[in-house]
Amino acid sequence: MKPVPAESTPVALVTGASRGIGRALAEHLLARGYQVVGCSRGDADWTDDRYLHLRADVADESDVKSLCREIKRRHGRLDVVINSAAVASTNHLLLTPAASVETMLRVNVTGTLLVSREAAKLMRKRGYGRIVNISSIAVPLQIPGQAGYVASKSAVEGLSKVMAGELAEYGITVNVIGPSPIDTDMIRGLPKEKVEQLVGKMSVRRMGTHADVANVLDFFLRPESSAVTGQVVYLGGITPA
């Protein structure tokens, strides 16, 4: 795999960049000198000279194609994709609506596939790319009440491993980060006792931080990490069940 081409500023796409982990990682990449394109279904309430925010539904194929066409038109390249856009819902299995599961699968799985597919078409032309998908420790912990969410994020992990094999010949790596609980809107929707139980199951018994996630992201993005692909890193001292 080739090192990062140095002819111009690298460009990153971050989905779900209006808030939470997506926003934090977009700001982190800006601090590292990237041009960053972020997207979400709504507008972002923050700006930067090197940041462009576009409205797009990652589960809508036409939206994703338009998004990547705009990146190509403006920048002519794409080096990094972070698939952070996600939705979650907590319900006992017996009370889980089908519509809720279908939404999670569309956004979390289909969205990740569509964005990765269209991004890879831009990346392969230059023989270089980094795709990093966001999963969750809910997968190895198999958290009760999150059957649909765990199913969707498990699918993201499986999808990522297949993509890693298919895209390696183009110099594109695909890896996954499974954050521990971080103080975001998604976690705030859980009962306090549920969050405490999650933290109690981790080896590192504290809430996660955006810096924890950014640290693993930096490793995956390094030119020297060209042989690291198809990997899932869970934070908090979590291992698969």
Catalytic residues: 149
- Tracing tokens 């298919």 back to the chain, one arrives at 166
CA–CA distances in Å: residue 153 to residues 28, 69, 137, 159 = 24, 27, 9, 10
User: Do 217 and 80 touch, CB atoms closer than 8 A?
Assistant: no
**Pairing between strand 129-134 and 80-83?**
parallel
Give the SS3 label for residue 43: coil
Token pair listed for 169: 């010949």
Q: Residue 118 contacts by C-beta under 8 Å, 6 or more apart in sequence?
A: 64, 65, 67, 68
Query: Residue 169 corresponds to which amino acid?
Result: E
Identity of residue 223: P
> For residue 41, what is the DSSP state?
S
Calpha distance 174→179 (Å, rounded): 17
